[in-house]
Amino acid sequence: MTKEALSKYMEEFKDSLIAPSDPRHQAVELLVRILAERIQDIAEISSVPWTVHVVDGPTINAFVLPNGKVFIFTGMLEAVAGIHQLVFILGHEIAHALIGHAAEQASLSHVVELLSLILLTAIWAICPRDSLAVLGQWIQSKLVQFLFNRPFSRKLEAEADQVGLRLAAKACADVRAGPVFWQQMEIYDQLRGEPTIPEWLSTHPSHQNRVRQLDRLVPEALELRARCDFPGLPKADPRVIFHQTVKLLLDNAKKQEKIAQEEKNEKRRSEVMLSLPQSPPVPTPGSQPQLGGLQATSALLQTLLSK
Ligand SMILES: [Zn+2]
């Protein structure tokens, strides 16, 4: 199945694969090599020949086939805020491959296929109509589609997050960046108003849940990270920086909104004034004829608005 999947993907992406000499390809390759080197004590990792394929496309997605073929889209490279998040994502995908999630999921889909086949045969035996057969086929194809389009269940995702965070810690990444990635995705998702990244988002558990789960796992991963002979962690926690940045952006957005609202109100006021019937100025006895108050104001407003 892996071989089949690989040739399917290679065919699908043959025109959009980025050259190995591209800095983006080289960066991912280097990170995968570091991950593999630092976690060599895990037999499955050291025996897998990891190869990287960077697909040029806006999709925020990455996956690893059980035979060590790493696929990552440039959309994902643009979505991560730095190298630590990227190591976390790669760790997560490598974890799927290590734990054998693809096989687990595939055997599950075979069971579902078999069950649906039994069910359909039973229905057809009771009521052998062509229309039913068509309906049955549709249900079956939907079931298979459902399973293959949702490659990993929530349980498997949580498992890959947990193992992936540990792999990232062993590779000396700042594991606190892991939950931040999902917070970014949450905001991205909300701004777009819909899950626009089906391959990744719709198949992955709700971001809030995984942020909470990852936050719980961070202290344990930090202990593992402490064994690194690498320079220590940056003093500033990326989670705190993220919260402060979001707060600042929200405050600024609120201020902008307030200013825009005030400008709108002002404009409406002047429009109301301009639309009022304009009577000719009544000359006051003993003074020079002047522009009436209303006219003067609207003239002034018009000059101001035209600036
Ligand atoms: Zn996953």
160 Cα to the center of ligand 1, angstroms: 6
Residue 258, amino acid: K
Q: What's the pTM value of the predicted model, to 2 decimals?
A: 0.69
- Contact criterion met (CB below 8 Å) for 76 and 62: yes
Q: Is residue 178's pLDDT more than 60?
A: yes
Round to whole Å and give the CA distance between 98 and 92.
Answer: 10
Q: Is 184 exposed, middle or buried (0-12, 13-18, 19+ CB in 10 A)?
A: middle
Round to whole Å and give the CA distance between 123 and 171.
Answer: 54
Q: Which helix (H) or strand (E) holds 51?
A: strand 51-55
Q: What does the pLDDT look like over 48-91, one tens digit per residue?
A: 888 999 999 998 999 888 888 999 999 999 999 999 999 999 99
Q: Which helix (H) or strand (E) holds 71?
A: strand 69-73
Residues with CB under 5 A from ligand 1 (ion): 157, 160
Q: Which residues are catalytic?
A: 93
267 Cα to the center of ligand 1, angstroms: 51
Which is higher by pLDDT, 216 or 285? 216
Reported confidence tier of residue 193, pLDDT bands at 50, 70, 90: low
Paired tokens of 80: 């991560």
113 Cα to the center of ligand 1, angstroms: 23
Q: What does the pLDDT look like over 218-270, one tens digit per residue?
A: 999 999 898 887 678 888 999 999 989 888 988 898 899 999 999 999 999 88
3-state secondary structure of 57: coil
